[in-house]
Amino acid sequence: MSFEFSIARRLFGHRDEGHRLSRPVVRIAMWGVAVGLAVMILSVCIIIGFKNEIRQKVIGFGGHIEILNEQSLYNAEAQPIAFDSAQLGRLTSEPGIAHVQRFCTKTGMIKTDEAFKGILLRGVAEDYDTTFLATHLKAGRLPRFTAAKSTNEIAVSALQAKMLGLHVGDRVYTYFFSEQVKARRFHIVGIYETHLREFDNSLVFTDLATTQRLNSWENDQYAGLELLIDDFNALDSTTLRVAQLMNRTQDDYGATYTTHSIRELYPGIFSWLSLLDTNVYVILTLMLLLSLFTMTAGLLIIILERTNFIAVMKSMGASNGQVRRIFLYFAALLVGRGILLGDILGIGLAIAQQQLGFVHLDPATYYVDAVPIQFSWPIIIALDVATLLITVLILVLPSYLVSRIEPARVMRFE
């Protein structure tokens, strides 16, 4: 243990009743660091949680990667694309791809006695991963998803149910327009709610066979495939590999395959999520400035109140550099305690929100009904280390005040 650190540690643990001003200043500086760090931790956990929550909802409606008919990009209605068992097997075995599922869509309208509403009927089969829908199921059950036969069962969103006055168990008429009007009577077996208005406003889920027949497609024709991957961070590289495998090739009916990531299909949502990072940077900067301000002011006051100590140390042969290091070690210990308190405060509040959800949000505005929390321990550790290093480095400048204190002049006035 160095001489300077040993002295700094004794000063830090010593309660000197004579320095009445420095005691509250030390507390204010320490709590300034603690509160600033707690706000930084909460901000990071909230933004990561919020981005992950919205991202998972978008992925729940469309998978990570979609393989479509190239003409679907230029038409309001989805165009059919065929896949055989060999293609499905090849995609499933592709590294990084966890699951492959088929889907069909058909635009139409739900009509009741009092109102009507446009919908996008989405048909899925037995291979559909129901985890997302089951998690957000508000009432009833999921339809029987199958490609073998029509079940005439649908799941509508809570938003649609509220607008049309629908309930589980109701039977409703739907109409679909192409070369001729097709009417179908469906049985509502479930109501889901994700608070993502862009999707809740239109999507209605049913079985794959129903949508294929409404579109007059063959049994091997679909609107596309949805691919779920193991690692979202590998989305771009996985999309590129799938595109190299599928793009510019044609199915048995002459349709051309095209591959797009969920980020490309919904650029507005993902661009908005990226903008949230700017808010985090602003908050981190402001909180770090708060910590620097309180610590700088605190260190200056501590130095000015301990001029006698500085004079004695210099008279005993300590150099200006050694005395500066004593106060910098003192500041590091103070910042360290503030970081510990900030971790306890920030992580404690984040855990409480994660478990209890006591801070609620308006889902119509924020797409979630409670503030979401997700921990990233590497980022939290990085915040701790960065706060300590940046604060202590910035304090090097005010520590040079020590060199202006002359032992002879101080002792003359004692």
Mean pLDDT in the chain? Answer: 87
pLDDT of 387 over the 50 cut = yes
Report residue 17's pLDDT band, with 50, 70 and 90 as the boundaries: very low
Task: Give per-residue pLDDT as tens, 299-341.
Answer: 777 777 777 777 777 777 777 778 778 888 888 888 898 999 9
Quick one: CA dihedral 246, 247, 251, 255, positive or negative? positive
Q: CA separation (Å) from 209 to 3, 61, 147, 213, 222?
A: 80, 19, 5, 6, 10
Phi-psi bin for 139: left (phi > 0), alpha (psi -120 to 50), beta? beta
Give the helix ranges, DSSP H, for 63-177.
85-92, 131-135, 158-164
* pLDDT given at position 18: 46
pLDDT of 410 over the 60 cut = no
Task: Give per-residue pLDDT as tens, 180-199.
Answer: 888 999 999 999 999 998 89
* pLDDT given at position 127: 92
Name the β-bridge partners of 118: 109
Task: Give per-residue pLDDT as tens, 117-126.
Answer: 999 999 999 9
The pTM for the full model equals 0.81
- Of 204-213, 286-295, 317-326, the range with the highest mean pLDDT is 204-213
Task: Give per-residue pLDDT as tens, 20-78.
Answer: 555 677 788 888 889 989 999 999 999 999 989 999 899 989 899 999 999 998 888 89
pLDDT of 138 over the 80 cut = yes
Task: Give per-residue pLDDT as tens, 81-108.
Answer: 999 888 888 998 999 999 999 999 999 9
